[in-house]
Chain A
């Protein structure tokens, strides 16, 4: 939790971490951890090569996962797994140098959410599957 002090004087407490106005306005600070005097936290970016795919089971959408820190800096040393959830199906994907790609196809038209799980701040991507009507 972070908040703005509107009191006249400075509040000194061992439980409080003073932050700048700039950091206060940065919403990415939410869901970070304060470790050894700095804020840390992993998040991910999900990008796809298409906005929409056909519900024929063969049209494929390629999604790239890029792990970044809470400030959006790519984590090129990240080689662990990231859990991905697609419409309730969950699978761990191994990243290499902070990057991984996976594909998605569907026989069911509609809107589906692709989500990352178990990161400090998770992200999601909406996938539209069109039945071509």
Chain B
């Protein structure tokens, strides 16, 4: 019984010693060459897109689309279109206020 267990452990050790990268940890075999350290990646700074600017661009695009629609099909001016226009105006107002606040805090 005991010899079976020893055999099982021995086969486990043998299998592990054949795995890549295992030679310096199992079996006591020293690597022939010193292990190469990974080249450190240079520090990277990323300046993300300004979310307020993106939102403002979206509003501008929506407004341009609406203007095209109104120019071609004036009958399409519904309450829904008016509601969207009003929402965009208010949203734009909020963005401007946020920008003003940021400028005030910077000074």
| Interface residues in chain A, defined as those with a beta carbon under 8 Å from any beta carbon in chain B | 55, 57, 60, 62, 84, 86-87, 89, 91, 93, 100-108, 112, 129
Whether A103 lies near B47 (C-beta < 8 A) is no
Asked whether, in the complex, the Cβ of A104 is within 8 Å of the Cβ of B45, the reply is yes
12 contacts between A and B (CB under 8 A): A57-B46, A62-B42, A86-B45, A91-B43, A100-B42, A100-B43, A102-B42, A104-B44, A104-B46, A106-B46, A108-B48, A129-B47
Which residue of the partner chain, among B43, B46, B50, contacts A93 with CB atoms under 8 Å?
B43
State the CA gap A105–B44 with chains docked (Å): 8
Beyond A60-B44, A107-B47, 9 extra complex contacts between A and B, CB < 8 Å:
A57-B46, A84-B45, A86-B45, A86-B47, A102-B44, A104-B44, A105-B45, A105-B47, A108-B49
> B residues within 8 A CB of A89?
45, 47
Q: How big is chain B's contact interface, by range? A: 10 to 19
B residues adjacent to A (C-beta < 8 A):
42-50, 53
CA distance A102 to B47 in the complex (A): 14
Q: Is the CB of A107 within 8 A of B44?
A: no
- Out of A57, A101, A105, A108, name the residue touching B50 (CB < 8 Å): A108
Q: Which B residues are in CB contact (< 8 Å) with A87? A: 45, 47
Closest beta carbon of chain A to B95's beta carbon, Å: 15
Chain B contacts of A86 at CB under 8 A? 45, 47
User: Complex Cα distance A107/B48, Å?
Assistant: 5
Closest to A105 in B: B46
Q: Which residues of A contact B49 (CB under 8 A)?
A: 55, 57, 107-108
